[in-house]
Amino acid sequence: MAQSQRPRIGIIGTGAIGGFYGVMLARAGFDVHFLLRSEFAAVAEHGLTLNSAIHGTQHIQPVQAYQNAADMPRCDWLLVGAKTTSNSALAPAIIQAAADGAKVVLLQNGLAVEENLRPLLPASLHLLGGLCFICVHRAAAGVIEHQALGAVSLAYHSGPATDTAAQQVLLDTGVAMFKAAGLASTAMASIEQARWQKLVWNIPFNGLSVLLNADTTALLANADSHALIEALMHEVLQGAAACGYVVPEGFVGKMLVATQRMLDYLPSMAHDYRQQRPLELQAIYAEPLAAAARAGCEMPRVQALYQALAFLDAQNRS
């Protein structure tokens, strides 16, 4: 594939997620440009380092790094790896960095993130959801630690591709891009279905890692927290079902087995909490609770967890 034929990729928010996928795509020969804020100086000087338990250590130096989206070349794909808490503030940068008909992929957890960003983007941009199954965190400015996994599921949300065939072509291109970088990737028919399924994991593990100050191994090893995790997962399944998204049978069991294989994994929300960053409570808790409530479904344990986290988040940043 000649350089000119390759899509140009922009990374909006070069934290753990954006950094990981950006470095992996750059390493595979894609033309990747990184938008950074507070870490720009460090990355411009020292480059980006990915310490991966699977792919070894990757170092990019120099990095095509930018402090302002206005300075970036127009990109065909924009991968948004920032926290959902900053989405509305990022819309102008996304618009500035987007080529005509660009594909904007929200590599984020939670519900309704596309719905909330869509009104802020021009109709000419494609909006996709991307769900990352990955254990990764930012160890320092420009340094990303990758513990396990890395798969990306893509789904089309909205934009110029109005028929299924055109959407499928876009999804196939996106999937091929991640696969060319050595990563598992699949296209999913429904972004909402995909987001609810991911929430089955995020809702218990993200929240409890903050509330109980514990990693996945500790949370699963204790009989009480293990039972709480399962009860939360089943409430999320009920919420999803009320909203019309039936999660495949055996999904909870598979999630638990997969999580047991993640050694001592500390979910991203625990990292956010320890670094006094805002927690993604709106996307991961408030939106699913509201969607389930609109469908007549209460999720009392999820709501209790959300309220406890909202208290901690407020104290943590006050």
Measured from the CB atom, the residue of 22 and 204 that comes closer to a second copy is: 204
316 binds a second copy (CB under 8 A): no
Q: Measured in Å, how far apart are the chain's first and last C-alpha atoms?
A: 52
- The DSSP call for residue 28 is T
312 binds a second copy (CB under 8 A): yes
203 binds a second copy (CB under 8 A): no
Which helix H or strand E contains 287, and what residues bound it?
A: helix 287-294
CA distance 267 to 206: 5
Out of 85, 168, 217, 225, the only residue in the binding site for a second copy (CB under 8 A) is: 225
- The DSSP call for residue 119 is G
Measured from the CB atom, the residue of 4 and 315 that comes closer to a second copy is: 315
198 noted as active-site residue: yes
Measured from the CB atom, the residue of 66 and 306 that comes closer to a second copy is: 306
Asked if 122 and 133 count as a contact pair (C-beta separation under 8 A), the reply is no
- Residue 90, SS3 per DSSP: helix
Give me the helix-helix angle, 223-242 and 191-211, nearest 10°: 150
Measured CA to CA in angstroms, residue 248 lies from 197, 245, 253 at distances of 9, 9, 11
Catalytic-labelled residue, pool 83, 179, 198, 254: 198
In this structure, is the dihedral angle defined by the CA atoms of residues 94, 95, 100 and 105, taken in order, positive or negative? positive
Measured from the CB atom, the residue of 141 and 218 that comes closer to a second copy is: 218
Out of 100, 224, 275, 296, the only residue in the binding site for a second copy (CB under 8 A) is: 224
CB 145 → a second copy: shortest distance, Å?
24
Site map 155..194 versus a second copy, x via CB under 8 A: ----------------------------------------
Q: Which of 74, 17, 23, 87 is nearest to 50 (CA)?
A: 23
Give the number of other Cβ atoms within 10 Å of residue 151's Cβ: 13
CB 314 → a second copy: shortest distance, Å?
6
Out of 182, 253, 307, 317, the only residue in the binding site for a second copy (CB under 8 A) is: 307
Q: Catalytic positions, please?
A: 198
Residues that bind a second copy (CB under 8 A): 208, 211-212, 214, 218-219, 222, 224-225, 227-228, 231-232, 300-301, 303-308, 310-312, 314-315
